[in-house]
Structure formats: structure tokens, C-alpha cells
Amino acid sequence: MSLLFRNVRLLDPASDTDRPGSLLVVDGRIAALDPMGVPEGAAIVDGGGACLAPGLVDMRVQLREPGAEHQETLATASAAAAAGGVTTMVALPNTTPPVDDIAPVEFIARRAREIRGTRIFTYAAVTRGLAGRELTEMGLLAEYGAVGFTDGEKAVADALVMRRALSYAATFGLLVLQHPEEPSLAAGGMMNEGEIATRLGLAGITPAAETIMVERDLRLLEITGGRLHMAHVSTAAAIEAIRQAKRRGLAVTCDTAPPYFALNETAVGEYRTFAKLSPPLRSEDDRRAVVEGLADGTIDAIASDHAPHDQDSKRLPFPAAAAGIVGLETLLPLSLALYHDGRMPLLEVVRRLSTAPARILGLNAGTLAPGAPADLVLFDADRPWKIRVDEFRSKCKNSPFDGRPVQGRALRTYVGGRLLFEWTA
């Protein structure tokens, strides 16, 4: 019941800790940093100088259960998450049926307990059936465990509905999350609007579709109060709008995903459907703006935006292919590129992956403080390897990063002090 990590580099963004040390776990919780004594019979893990950090908190994951278990289940996603150092996942509500009532919230909680893998939470829908019209019972759903409210891959397009949602959520202190894309501007679009889309003969999605929705919702936030989170921001103009809103004191946060700082629209190449995302991969200028937004703190968190699709959904002509990629097992190494490229300190990268999303969602995670759950990742920030999709534990392999050399690998992942994953060479 006791576990001592020694000879590790402690990384705790919650206390701005980055130093060599040791950590003691007792009964599934962190007991002490640099303990004076060790309980008799404690298991000892010699980290060999590797980094010990709070487990990653992935705040945007599509788990496909219930309704599309052929693409992913809570169990397979949990195994993939553990392999990537993720100890907490938050699921989008776009399942079948959608999470717009109490029963699906309870179902996910029960299945997570049965699996005994990573911790799994869920968002609930903002509107019934994700239809964008009638609001769900947010207060009641929150009581049963929903940690936020979003229509998932769909934007809440109607401004009056969004205003009512923000007002309703503010009454209970709840978080509303938006997919920032004005749907009429994005309709029929397949990739970023620009020269490459024109050359390929593909309908483009203007970056303004994101900016317009962000700016509209920031105005609504001003008049309603409450808390708003923008998911997977990808454009320079939208990031600048959020930056200015924060300076005005609005309670807005945002996240991005690794493809938006690791790739640009050229990754589409010759109709490469594994590089078809929503929002689409943007221009190089936008990619650089995402990196800058992470570096200066405008972008609060990094999420995997895990969207598993089977071969039948991806190996289609580009217009017909589904949008989205898997990301649980590549979240850590792709994010560590920000550190290796000198754009962010290592502690700040870990903050975006763990402490910040936990605080946004009010979860008891993302810290090495004594008394906190022992949800931990031991990782080697410098270990080189190559991404191989055929080694993924996720059911689906739809990733544009196959074969990409990276640095940084999760060595061990613990949830509540239980070892869920151990990497073997």
C-alpha cells in the first residue's frame, strides 16, 4: 500500500516545483515529498532521473461508447490514455444516445468504475439532442457529475440559445464549452481556405468562421457573466480576441490540440484524409500564432482532441472522409516538442497538460500536493522514438503522425497509486 519514487525530477506546476527529489505514496494518495522516513515494506521505484509529474488531464476526448464501440470503448481508450501518461479523461457528449440526460452520465460513471483504469468524466450537452435549440437541465446534470456543458463537435449556432445557456450556467457556476466555428461559413468546407485548397479543388473553410464565433460569444459573455471555454482554437485572430478578452477581465479560457501547433495545412498533401480535422489544419502563420498563444499563456490548456475513426470512415475520397484524428498516445511527445524547440519551459508544458485543465474543470487532479490522489506519470522527456500507429492501443489508427520522430515517452502511469502502464523497450 506504500510506494516510494526516488531519484526523480519532481515537476509540479501547482506549486511551481521543478527539482530533484522523491515522493511517497500511501493508500493511493501522495503522502509526502522528500519523506524523512519510509514505511516498512514500501515498494521502491528508482526513476533514474526521469520526470515525475501529475498525470495528464485530457479535457477533450471522444470515447464512442455508447453507440460506436467498433471505433472505441471506454476500456480501449483507457488503455491508450495510460500508455500516453493520461490519468484523467473528459468525454464529449456526442455519443448515441447523446449525454443530454441523467442516464448517460450515470452510465459513463458506472462503466469507468467497472474498468478501473484511468479516471473518466463526461461533459453533458448544452442542448437536447445536440440540436442547438432546447437547453438541457444543466443544474441537475451537474449534480449527477457532468463537469461542463458543450454540444461537442457542433457549435451552438443560435446566439439567443447561447446567451440563455451562458446565463443559465452562470446561475450554478457552471462551465460552457464552445466549438468555435460559425456553421454557415463552414458548411461544405473540407480544409483551410487558401491557395492549397484552391489547387486541390477542395472547398475551403475560412479562418473567419472561427473568429466570428469567438468574438460573438465573448460579447455574449460580457452581458451574461459566467464562464466560457473555447475548444481547439486554431487561428491567430481568434487567439488575439481571447487575449484581449482576458485583459478585459472576462472569465474565458481556451485550449488547443497538438496538430494545430505541430502541423499546418500542407500536411493535407495530396488528399491525405488522415490530416482532415475539425477545425482544419491552418496556415503556417496561424500555427505560429498557436505556439505564441501557448507560450504567453493566452491558451490555457492542451487537449488531445482524440477522435477515433475506423478505416471505413477515413479511407474515402477527401470530401466524404470523417474529420478527426486519434491523439491520446501522442499528446505528451508532441507537446514536449514545445520544450525541445525552446518555446516553453518544461514545467509550463506540464502545466498546460495537467494542472491547467484540472483547474478549469474543477477536478481534484494536476498536483503533487500531499493528500492529492496519486495520479502520476513517470516520463523521460528526452527519450527519442518514432510514432508507430500499429502499436497504438486505441482501436483506431487514424493519425497523421505515423512515422514521425519525437522525443519524450511515458515510462509508467499510475492512477490512485496503481500501476496502469509500464513501457518496456
Amino acid at residue number 381: A
Helix (H, G, I), strand (E, B) or coil at 384: strand
Cell of 274: 488522415
Question: Pairing mode, if any, of strands 17-26 and 227-230?
Answer: unpaired
Whether 4 and 38 have beta carbons less than 8 Å apart is answered as yes
Residue of 314, 302, 311 lying closest to 277 (CA atoms): 314
User: How far is residue 93's CA from residue 85's CA, in Å, rounded to a whole number?
Assistant: 23
- In the residue annotation, 305 being an active-site residue is answered as yes
Q: How many residues does the chain have?
A: 425
Whether 149 and 124 have beta carbons less than 8 Å apart is answered as yes
User: How far is residue 136's CA from residue 184's CA, in Å, rounded to a whole number?
Assistant: 24
From 305, 310, 341, 375, the catalytic residue: 305
User: How far is residue 220's CA from residue 201's CA, in Å, rounded to a whole number?
Assistant: 37
Whether 49 and 9 have beta carbons less than 8 Å apart is answered as yes
Half-sphere exposure of 121 toward its Cβ, with a 13 Å CA cutoff?
Answer: 25
Question: Pairing mode, if any, of strands 51-54 and 175-178?
Answer: unpaired
Residue of 157, 176, 174 lying closest to 216 (CA atoms): 157
Question: Pairing mode, if any, of strands 191-192 and 56-61?
Answer: unpaired
CB-based burial label for 351 (10 Å; 0-12, 13-18, 19+): buried
Element (H, E) at 419: strand 418-422
Which residues touch 125 (CB under 8 Å, ≥6 apart)?
Answer: 93, 98, 99, 100, 136, 149, 150, 151, 152
Distance of CA 130 to the CA centre of its chain: 20
User: How far is residue 351's CA from residue 329's CA, in Å, rounded to a whole number?
Assistant: 18
Whether 282 and 238 have beta carbons less than 8 Å apart is answered as no
Whether 34 and 22 have beta carbons less than 8 Å apart is answered as yes
* Residues annotated as part of the active site: 305
